[in-house]
Structure 1
Amino acid sequence: MSSESLHEQHLLSSVRNDQDEADILQQKSRPRRLLFKLGLSFFLFGMINNVLYVIILSAALDLVPSSTPKGIILFCNITPSLIAKIGWPYVLKGRIRYAKRLIGCCLLSVFGMIIIALFDSVFTRLLGICFASFSSGLGELTFLQLSTTYHPPSVAGHSVGYFASGTGAAGLVGASIWWIVRGLGVRTGVGLSSVMPLVIPLTYYLLLPKSSAFSDLGLPASYEDEVIGAPVTTSYAPLPTDEESEEQQLEVDMEPKEPIGLSLVEKWTLVKPLLPKYMLPLFSVYLLEYTINQGIAPTLLYPVPSPTEHWFLSLIIHSIRDYYPLWQLVYQATVFLSRSSISFGLPPLPTRLLPLPAVVQSIILTMLVLESALGIFDSSPTFGFSVVFLLIAIEGICGGLAYVNVFYRINQDQDTHSSTSSDPERIKQEREFKIGSIGFSDSSGILLASLIAMPTELELCKAQAARGRMFCKSL
């Protein structure tokens, strides 16, 4: 063989080796790209879906007259959400049409915020809040159900972790937005925020990967395995998920079938073991958390700091009305950090420790009630402010940990609880229903908290006035 032939063979072999290396690198980078797009999509879903809810709560002092208890805002901001979370998973049957749901939620949110911005009457603004609340509740339910359509479980856990992180970011972003734009007034500030829901359909159609894209990537069996670096498993065949999967299923089997849907008896059978394990801890945390935020925090007021004695605080607090949005900002910032714990790579709480955040919350609530009513930390305004700041930060951490860990655990349980049916569509609907049913517990906790918060705020304000502290009367 001539030297020229040997040289050509060597070049061809080198080209093939380079191509093989490029293919290997591309194969390794593909899962990372898909997981990044999935995580970013669910992060945006969580943030945009919840941000209007937070803006409304942060703007509570500006949306109603000072004589109106701020708890009415919380009541109107959660009751329609609770109705949505009860109605859709418990009443409706059959396959979920995700695209139609999300477009409907987007339009309803925009409509609700425009109503709040354009009208000045309390009744009309509360009606707009109800529209936005219903959209937010249905949206949260839908995104959590959407996470169960991704497989293997590590991918589902990935999506839940980033969705929870997005909801936490919504708190921080929403409170920050209102802190910045509240000087523009309700009409301009709320009006500008009404365009934010349009991000949801854009993300769904342009960024979110299809669930089938993860079926042959050899990803870890569970999200916890992925965090600690366990070896990957074999490929996982995904279940039918959306409109496209329905068409694929029809191509496989053209025989007419009766539509599949879970009965109320079957749903109750699925819910019963979830009540003490997941729902009660989440209900307790949200009951305590929102009683603090809406019933106690508006009364945690101190003198306006002077620039000469407290130069840093004077940059933040310019009037008595600045304390309440500041507490909301502190709370939302710590909620964001704790809800992002799983997406940051921290291990989830064991199931047996899920009630722990509620226990800590009860201690915090007791201390803040005593501070508001009796001024137990009033040895100096700076000391009282610092202690309240720390307690509200811990409150946010507990609330965020409860949320992300409960939904992470129920998401992973979708694959550990065996179904009585071998039908893939029925198994899929059971998974979607289980995670959807949990939302009832946090919303019912918030609703009860709104009823408790209204008289709590009034009584604490009376207790402060009785000892000569009149700050809450001047709001």
Structure 2
Amino acid sequence: MNYSPERLMNRLGSEGDRESLADSNGIKGEGQKLRRLLGLSFFLFGLINNVLYVIILSAALDLVPPSTPKGIIAFCNIFPALIAKLGWPYLLRGRIQYARRLISCTAISVGGMMVVALFDTLYMRLLGICLASFSSGLGELTFLQLSTRYHPPSMAGHSVGYFASGTGGAGLVGAFLWWELRGLGVRLGVGLSSILPFVIPITYFFILPRPDKFSAVASDDDDAEGAPLSVSYTRLPNEENMEDSILVTEGEAIATAPIALSMQDKWKLAKPMLTKYMLPLFCVYLFEYTINQGIAPTLVYPVPTADGHWLMSRLIHSIRDYYPLWQLVYQTTVFLSRSSITLGLPPLPGRLLSVPAIVQGFILTTLAFESAVGIFGDQNEGASFVFVFLLISIEGICGGLAYVNVFFRINQEKHDSPGADAERAKQEREFKIGSIGLADSAGILMASLLAVPTEIELCRAQVGRGKTFCKSL
């Protein structure tokens, strides 16, 4: 069959278009697959890193003698994590060896849970809880820092969104796991939960895509700052394992002297974040955990009857059911709000990051007043139940939104350090997102100190008006 030159050119052009379209579809499909694997990996990181924290809190009644204040469990479960988040970003110099750090976190976490399972003495169990807490705190800041290694910015934000969703899901999964395992006893139940941290290195080495994989599938609409760093790969000094298999610029490859941020550099980076990011996150967690640990235990009412409150009677069978229900409502709404970005909802504008803290402060004041005085009266438990249910739901939403949006915003900040300063820009991004984490842990620690006197005073106020339910818990 003969073709005229014009028809032949048209045919060749059509075939070229089809090949280009096929290549484009192939790249798009590969990009979608990588996004799914990246999201799954960071979701698992958040879930497993935080689930042991929840299991330990859920098992508090079983881990210590009845005469021991349960607040000591909360303290040992958060203070070592605070030390890790406060010290590690400032003490570390140079590049982060992610594989080495995550393997260390896994070993410490497994060791801590095994100590809790194998020893019956209070001090050894508290030691095991401290080890697991330290590993969790170090792991959280490590995963947040790891997210900054992904380009373009949409991939970094994608990572943070799924990590936050995983940490929210840990509340529900951890409480459910201990509910199922507690019948086996502390030794076997905690011992079985100690295998969970092994999911982290398995995910890191076998599921998590390497950062350089996204260079070929970067979308055209990503800005230049977040674009892949270069087209060539050169191994830097002291690089090892997968975490260093990333694309680097020519200027970065030329630089042979090791780059490390000084304490002065780090303070210069941290100072503007104190009021912009840290203070709102600190306040949200201070108010949130003061509500959960100090006020929620006193939000108890008469057991509802089937005739007067058919729905409440299905949920509440004794006054001891109120507190677990409030925690379930809180954990559910935290999970949903921490998943807001992964569900496609837009992030909060930077100027509104303080709004969750303001709302949380209002909720704390209102719930404290409800506990002490009784806004609807002691005989109208139906209205009080609905009122508290709504406020605790909003509390969880505010807490989750504050967490995911603060870390998302700091992750998306631009760093203009071209050429030989590219390695420095990476370290700055890692430091900034890692240094924020101490704000939420400091808020939780402060709340654990305020919760005990708050609960005592609120219970005393209830007894003073003739409501004695808090004394019988």
Query: Which deviates more, 254-263 or 353-362?
Result: 254-263
- Residue in structure 2 matched with residue 228 of structure 1 by the alignment: none
Query: Which deviates more, 461-470 or 249-258?
Result: 249-258
How far did 1:66 drift?
Answer: 5.0
CA distance in 2, matches of 1:114, 1:159: 31
**Would you say the 8 A contact 2:255–2:420 is kept in 1?**
no
Query: Which deviates more, 277-286 or 66-75?
Result: 66-75
Cα distance change of structure 1 residues 248 and 99 upon mapping to structure 2, 3 Å threshold: closer
Find the residue that maps to 2:216 and give its secondary structure: coil
Give the alignment of 1:148-167 within 5 angstroms: 148-167=148-167
Give the alignment of 1:191-340 within 5 angstroms: 191-219=191-219, 236-237=228-229, 243=240, 244=242, 246=244, 257-307=256-306, 309-340=308-339
Q: Which amino acid aligns with 1:382?
A: G
Q: Which amino acid aligns with 2:423?
A: E
**Would you say the 8 A contact 2:156–2:411 is kept in 1?**
yes
- Residue in structure 2 matched with residue 466 of structure 1 by the alignment: 464
- Residue in structure 1 matched with residue 426 of structure 2 by the alignment: 428
Q: Which amino acid aligns with 1:464?
A: Q
**Would you say the 8 A contact 1:161–1:343 is kept in 2?**
yes
Q: Which amino acid aligns with 2:270?
A: V
CA distance in 2, matches of 1:310, 1:183: 32
How far did 1:158 drift?
Answer: 0.8
Find the residue that maps to 2:78 and give its secondary structure: helix
How far did 1:460 drift?
Answer: 2.1
**Would you say the 8 A contact 1:49–1:136 is kept in 2?**
yes
Which of 444, 451, 454 is 1:453 aligned to? 451
Cα distance change of structure 1 residues 234 and 408 upon mapping to structure 2, 3 Å threshold: closer
CA distance in 2, matches of 1:313, 1:192: 35
- Residue in structure 2 matched with residue 356 of structure 1 by the alignment: 355
How far did 1:79 drift?
Answer: 0.5
CA distance in 1, matches of 2:317, 2:347: 40
How far did 1:261 drift?
Answer: 1.3
**Would you say the 8 A contact 1:176–1:329 is kept in 2?**
no
How far did 1:356 drift?
Answer: 0.4
Q: Which amino acid aligns with 1:126?
A: L
Cα distance change of structure 1 residues 217 and 298 upon mapping to structure 2, 3 Å threshold: same
How far did 1:381 drift?
Answer: 2.2
**Would you say the 8 A contact 2:97–2:243 is kept in 1?**
no
CA distance in 1, matches of 2:268, 2:84: 21
CA distance in 1, matches of 2:422, 2:255: 17
**Would you say the 8 A contact 2:152–2:226 is kept in 1?**
no
**Would you say the 8 A contact 1:69–1:458 is kept in 2?**
no
Find the residue that maps to 1:103 and give its secondary structure: helix
How far did 1:188 drift?
Answer: 4.2
Cα distance change of structure 1 residues 248 and 124 upon mapping to structure 2, 3 Å threshold: closer
Find the residue that maps to 1:343 and give its secondary structure: coil
Give the alignment of 1:69-148 within 5 angstroms: 69-148=69-148
- 1:386 equivalent in alignment to 2:382: no
* 1:148-195 deviations in Å (ceiling 9; x for gaps): 000111111111111111111112222333344445544444333222
Cα distance change of structure 1 residues 120 and 321 upon mapping to structure 2, 3 Å threshold: farther
- Residue in structure 2 matched with residue 344 of structure 1 by the alignment: 343
CA distance in 2, matches of 1:185, 1:245: 39
Query: Which deviates more, 91-100 or 13-22?
Result: 13-22
Q: Which amino acid aligns with 1:198?
A: F
Cα distance change of structure 1 residues 111 and 300 upon mapping to structure 2, 3 Å threshold: farther
Can you give the 5+ residue segments of structure 1 that lack an aligned partner in the other structure? 4-10, 226-231
Aligned length: 460
Give the alignment of 1:406-417 within 5 angstroms: 406-413=406-413, 415=414, 417=415
Q: Which amino acid aligns with 1:236?
A: P
Query: Which deviates more, 256-265 or 289-298?
Result: 256-265
Cα distance change of structure 1 residues 122 and 397 upon mapping to structure 2, 3 Å threshold: same
Cα distance change of structure 1 residues 68 and 316 upon mapping to structure 2, 3 Å threshold: farther
Give the alignment of 1:33-52 within 5 angstroms: 33-52=33-52
How far did 1:279 drift?
Answer: 0.7
CA distance in 2, matches of 1:364, 1:270: 33
Query: Which deviates more, 377-386 or 87-96?
Result: 377-386
TM (normalized to structure 1)?
Answer: 0.87
TM (normalized to structure 2)?
Answer: 0.87
CA distance in 2, matches of 1:346, 1:309: 39
Find the residue that maps to 2:325 and give its secondary structure: helix
CA distance in 2, matches of 1:246, 1:190: 35
How far did 1:250 drift?
Answer: 11
**Would you say the 8 A contact 1:179–1:325 is kept in 2?**
no
How far did 1:353 drift?
Answer: 0.5
**Would you say the 8 A contact 1:70–1:294 is kept in 2?**
no
CA distance in 2, matches of 1:182, 1:216: 48
- Residue in structure 1 matched with residue 6 of structure 2 by the alignment: none
- 1:443 equivalent in alignment to 2:449: no
CA distance in 1, matches of 2:303, 2:52: 29
CA distance in 2, matches of 1:256, 1:22: 40
